[in-house]
A and B are shown apart, each in its own frame.
Chain A
């Protein structure tokens, strides 16, 4: 199982996200990217000193099998509900949720047959 996050030391929120997702989905692959610096100048972000507001998360886990995307995303949102409701907490979450089979199938397609 590989876990990769942004090169800088992960902040408190990022570590919290990682911890909860690990526990809930026991992922084969988990990658968290902190995009907050890209959104710092947005109106809603002014006055918020937090640098952990926008994240991209990629999770590969068999826990997602047979669950439609809507359900997968909802589960993750529920997991992080308190952090998303907190002022200065998570403002945006871009999710990429796949099962190991789906990843393999996608790889086949791109490296597919002639």
Chain B
């Protein structure tokens, strides 16, 4: 696999660590690359997007979302590989303005931004897609057409379906699986459940099951629930539209929703 950073010297004249096999990369992972920044001030991000012509990778994470750990490692590896690209780790709940601007309702989410445009987006833990997107965006900047594959995925980061489903369910504290999107629901029941969440001022993440047949069928088995929409709170199935509808007048639903997910 080709790497941009050759073993050599970086900007400050210090010798870089040698990049070797996959296992070497993991042990060297403790050195945080210079192009990987933890966002402290959103003005810094704004300036960078204004000034830089190249793409900037924005990785939205949260401490309570276990599955972010996998993406943490991959982002570090990618930052080491693409030294000319700036990477930002953004704690989503601390930077609500930025999260809203990029329509982030669940974590982990990775956005590839160029100036004021979004040229790439990966929702959830999808390592192959993440690696591919960043490679594609870099290649596009370099004027190279899309490459078929951009590096190997370490075996320990491959996921089985159940892990993927568990991650999907936990991407936001209140997570709804619908047909279509909140803006364009493709089913009356999905439309209604979105309406109820909005009316009750509940912040939620959503997943459009029409875009992913694997998740659509997998979730039915995983949760032993044959229909959509499905509402999960803190990783647990609450039910479908009829259950959610009944839980509203009794106050049961609001009771289940964590405080942080209620819009003031």
Contacts and interface: CB of A to CB of B under 8 A. Distances in A.
Interface of A: 42-43, 69-70, 73-74, 77, 81, 84-85, 92-96
B239 A70 contact: yes
Nearest to B228: A92
B65 interface: no
Main secondary structure of the interface of B (DSSP, over half): mixed
B237 interface: yes
Interface stretch (B12-20, B201-209, B219-227): B219-227
Given A70-B243, A73-B243, A92 B238 contact: no
A81 B227 CA distance: 11
Contacts of B237: 70
A93 B240 CA distance: 10
A77 B242 contact: no
A70 B238 CA distance: 7
Contact of B242 (A42, A81, A85, A96): A96
Contacts of B226: 77, 81, 84-85
- Interface bracket on B: 10 to 19
Nearest to A81: B226
B113 to A, nearest CB: 34
A77 B225 contact: yes
A74 B225 contact: yes
Main secondary structure of the interface of A (DSSP, over half): helix
Interface of B: 186-187, 189, 224-227, 237-243, 246-247
14 contacts: A69-B239, A69-B246, A70-B237, A70-B243, A73-B239, A73-B240, A73-B243, A74-B224, A74-B225, A84-B226, A92-B189, A92-B227, A93-B227, A94-B241
A95 B238 contact: no
Contacts of A94: 241-242
A95 B227 CA distance: 12
Contacts of A43: 186
Nearest to A95: B242
Contacts of A84: 226
Given A69-B243, A77-B227, 12 more contacts: A43-B186, A69-B239, A69-B247, A70-B237, A73-B239, A73-B242, A74-B225, A84-B226, A92-B189, A94-B241, A95-B242, A96-B242
**Most A CB within 10 A of own CB, among B186, B225, B227, B241:** B227
Contacts of B238: 70
Nearest to B244: A69
